[in-house]
Amino acid sequence: MKVTETALPGVLIIEPQVWGDERGFFQEVYRANRYTEYGIPQPMVQDNQSFSRQGVLRGLHVQHPNAQGKLIQVYRGEVFDVAVDIRRGSPTFGQWVGATLSEENKRQFWIPPGFAHGFLVTGENALFTYKNTDYYSPETEFGVRWDDPDIGIQWPLDGKPELSRKDLTAPLLRDIPPDRLPGYEDYT
């Protein structure tokens, strides 16, 4: 397994080892003790699966409290996946990193608790899964606007993405009260 640090400390790109031949391939998708070595906390308590068509953008989503760390992988198709540091007091507050995840590259993306998460389907469609370190908590979930100019995410798209009503009306990061945001000290 190859693990690459990104520009945001704690956000990782993981390339699991894949064994393949003309019959197909085998990949160990998750093994707790191996992931713990890289600082990914345990336990993982919830697995989610999402299917979307090309041009759909989901996010930027976060929970606080009850923040979720997410281990993400695409099983069919391709997405551009993004993590944004929204932890008040963080030296990388408001910065983002992105990674292309696909069925071909079999990469995983680790997004620690306290970061906002979003993705854009860049392939024809995408079957997307993620393991979570905490349970979904709708009462503590909120969003940050996907095209916040202060964050400046460079989404690989032509035209406008397809968004949910909730994502269309999400506020800019600067308009979210600071006490609503996770604290850097809470998730380091």
From the candidates 35, 61, 64, 117, give the one annotated as an active-site residue.
Answer: 61
State how far the Cα of 42 lies from the Cα of 33, in Å rounded to an integer: 9
92 contacts: CB under 8 Å, gap ≥ 6: 7, 8, 9, 85
Query: CA geometry: angle at 84 spanning 44 and 71, to 5°?
Result: 20
Instruction: From the candidates 35, 64, 117, 130, give the one annotated as an active-site residue.
Output: 130
Active site residue 130: yes
- Give the residue numbers annotated as catalytic, written as ranges: 61, 130
